[in-house]
Amino acid sequence: MKKLMTCILLLLLSTAAFKSSGNPELLSAPQAQTDSLKTDARDPVCGMKVKKGTTLTHNHNKVVYGFCSAGCKKTFVSNPDKYLKK
């Protein structure tokens, strides 16, 4: 029991130290783009309608594309040219 409490305490202390390290980018998931979509559009992967204002976007060749889901965004980011040729 004492070892478990020690492990928990060390975990809490290391988490606190990490959070105070001054680099908040390390704490959140990486995001390629945080722009919001300016107009309604179609998801380039599946073709679903994406409403303006969504922040599930990716900037490719200075164009912001919106996505219906994180899966479609991931698919697009892995090979954008495949979906832009449609």
Neighbours of 67 (CB within 10 A): 24
Q: Where are the beta strands (DSSP E) in 14-75?
A: 41-42, 49-50, 57-60, 63-66
Residue 71, φ and ψ in degrees, nearest 5: -65, -45
Averaged pLDDT in 10-residue chunks for the chain of 86 residues: 73 63 49 73 95 93 94 96 85
Residue 1 token pair: 């029991």
How far apart are alpha carbons 63 and 43 in whole angstroms?
13
Residue type, 35: D
Would the pTM of this model clear 0.75, i.e. be above it? no
